[in-house]
């Protein structure tokens, strides 16, 4: 996110961990809830991660 970039700089692939931490602090997940993380790379590449909170 732009907030992470402004606060700590460009962390490349590790940025997703900082975004996840910030998001969970602002909106904690309840047991059984799902979250989807998506990342897009060069060309036609994408990664998705489905998380279920326990």
The residues, ordered by sequence, that sit 6+ positions from 23 with a Cβ below 8 Å of its Cβ are 35
Cα angle, residue 37 at apex, residues 32 and 42 outer, rounded to 5°:
165
Cβ(1)–Cβ(22) under 8 Å? yes
Q: Which has more confidence, 24 or 3?
A: 24
Is the pTM for the entire model greater than 0.85? Answer: no
Res 2: pLDDT: 76
pLDDT for 32: 94
Instruction: Tell me the domain boundaries of the chain.
Output: 2-52
Whether the per-residue pLDDT at 3 is higher than 80: the answer is no
DSSP assignments along 12-48, one per residue = GGGHHHHHHHHHHHHSPPPTT-EEEEEEEETTTEEEE
pLDDT digits (tens, 9 = 90+) for 11-47: 777 777 888 888 889 988 899 999 998 888 888 899 8
- Give the per-residue pLDDT at 6: 79
């Amino acid at each position: 996110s732009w907030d992470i970039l402004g606060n700590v700089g460009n962390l490349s692939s590790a940025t997703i961990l900082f975004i996840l931490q910030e998001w969970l602090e602002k909106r904690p997940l309840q047991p059984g809830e799902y979250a989807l993380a998506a990342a897009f790379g060069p060309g036609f590449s994408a990664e998705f991660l489905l998380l279920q909170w326990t």
